[in-house]
Amino acid sequence: MAENIERIKCLIIGSGPAGYTAAIYAARADLKPVMYTGMEPGGQLTTTTEVDNFPGYPEGIDGPTMMVQLQQQAERFGTQVRIGMVTEVNFSKEYGGVHKVVVDNTTHIEAETVIISTGATAKYLGLPSEQRLRGGGVSACAVCDGFFYKGQDVAIVGAGDTAAEEATYLANICSHVTMLVRKDRMRASKAMQHRVNGMENITVRYNSEVDEVLGDQVVEGLRIVNNKTNEKDEIAITGLFIAIGHKPNTEVFKDQVTMDETGYIITEGKSTETNIPGVFACGDVQDKEYRQAITAAGTGCMAALDAERYLAKVESHEEEIIA
């Protein structure tokens, strides 16, 4: 069995801006990184039609193309990009220890360093019409896509601080924002509620849910149902933003690395270090505040640099022991 176990210096779990940036830096540092893409190669950006806020693309770029280019750049420096899902991990708690990983329940790998960049998945309502129009006016990121609806009427679903913050963001660039709150009150902090209520072009509708997103190719309107009276009505909008939360893709790392109560991996200080020596986390899997492609890429760079420095310290320590 042992001869079938592959030994890797740097294993990157998950693709996307964080993973690919980590791969670029790790490859240039001669760490010979191997990446397993996970279930959604390229991450959330593969479902984004336009990326207009990533530096270096003056005319913008569509998400899938950007991910292909990042992969090509990582491969140009020697990264091995493999399709596969990590299904089991057993991280060593010893400094300089070897981390054991299983891919697709069959492939066994030993890694000197591991970079986790599995991201987070936006929660959606689950309506067929909503899923059909993702990328056609349905979005889970107002900061990412709100600009495309400048001067237009939009709606946002959610009741927490994130929903309130995104509603006010949209109100500054859109003509009108309809905010749908499922209960008879918002969960957002009082300060955020005051901010929403202070915007003249935000209408908050309580006890309201989306019955159907209207439109064939793009969003044209919304059918809303009052969950108290069952009354339905329609409004004309061009964009629908879902702000009901994200779920970090960290289930496989449960009981291995330290996480917060919602499953985001906790990193130490300004680094990407986890509580396990040689295991690092970057991108949305450890960032629930910004969740932008550019910030994910930045932490990917940090993770590769942290991994490189860690390996250098381990090697130096081993040389001292031998001497």
Is 174 one of the annotated active-site residues of the chain? no
**How many other β-carbons are positioned within 10 Å of the β-carbon of residue 136?**
17
Q: Is the dihedral of CA 205, 206, 207, 210 positive or negative?
A: positive
Verify that 116 and 255 share a domain, yes or no. yes
Verify that 107 and 49 share a domain, yes or no. yes
What is the CATH number for 153?
A: 3.50.50.60
Residue 49 pLDDT > 70: no
Verify that 24 and 157 share a domain, yes or no. no
pTM of the model: 0.80
Verify that 135 and 207 share a domain, yes or no. yes
Is 144 one of the annotated active-site residues of the chain? yes
What values do phi and psi take at 100, rounded to 5? -100, 135
Give the total number of structural domains in the chain. 2
Q: Would you say 156 and 142 are in contact if contact means Cβ atoms under 8 Å apart?
A: yes
- Identify which has the larger pLDDT, 181 or 52: 181
- Among residues 186, 208, 242, the one where a domain terminates is 242
Verify that 42 and 113 share a domain, yes or no. yes
Q: Locate tokens 């108290």: which residue?
A: 228
What average pLDDT does the structure give for the chain? Answer: 93
Verify that 105 and 42 share a domain, yes or no. yes
Amino acid code (one letter) for 308 = E
- Per the structure, the complete domain to which residue 62 belongs is given by 2-121+246-322
Residue 92 corresponds to which tokens in the numbers above? 């060593």
The catalytic position among 10, 144, 174, 282 is 144
* Each residue's pLDDT tens digit, 184-224: 999 999 999 999 999 999 999 999 999 999 999 999 999 99
Verify that 228 and 255 share a domain, yes or no. no
Verify that 73 and 43 share a domain, yes or no. yes
Task: Note the pLDDT of residue 320.
Answer: 60
Residue 106 corresponds to which tokens in the numbers above? 């069959």
- Among residues 242, 276, 305, the one where a domain terminates is 242
The catalytic position among 10, 62, 104, 145 is 145
Q: Locate tokens 């709606």: which residue?
A: 155
Verify that 55 and 164 share a domain, yes or no. no
Q: Would you say 158 and 130 are in contact if contact means Cβ atoms under 8 Å apart?
A: no
Contact partners, residue 189, CB within 8 Å, separation at least 6: 161, 164
Verify that 8 and 114 share a domain, yes or no. yes
* Each residue's pLDDT tens digit, 101-141: 999 999 999 999 999 999 998 899 999 999 999 989 999 98
Is 141 one of the annotated active-site residues of the chain? yes
The catalytic position among 141, 174, 287, 306 is 141
Residue by residue, what is the 3-state secondary structure of the chain?
A: CHHHCEEEEEEEECCCHHHHHHHHHHHHCCCCCEEECCCCCCHHHHHCCCECCCCCCCCCECHHHHHHHHHHHHHHCCCEEECCCEEEEECCCCCCCCEEEEECCCEEEEEEEEEECCCEEECCCCCHHHHHCECCCEECCHHHHHHHHCCCEEEEECCCHHHHHHHHHHHCCCCEEEEECCCCCCCCCHHHHHHHHCCCCEEEECCEEEEEEECCCCCCEEEEEECCCCCEEEEECCEEEECCCEEECCHHHCCCCCECCCCCECCCCCCCECCCCCEEECHHHCCCCCCCHHHHHHHHHHHHHHHHHHHHHHHHHHHHHHC
- Length, in residues, of the chain: 323
Verify that 261 and 236 share a domain, yes or no. no
Task: Note the pLDDT of residue 321.
Answer: 60
Verify that 106 and 209 share a domain, yes or no. no
- Among residues 210, 242, 274, the one where a domain terminates is 242
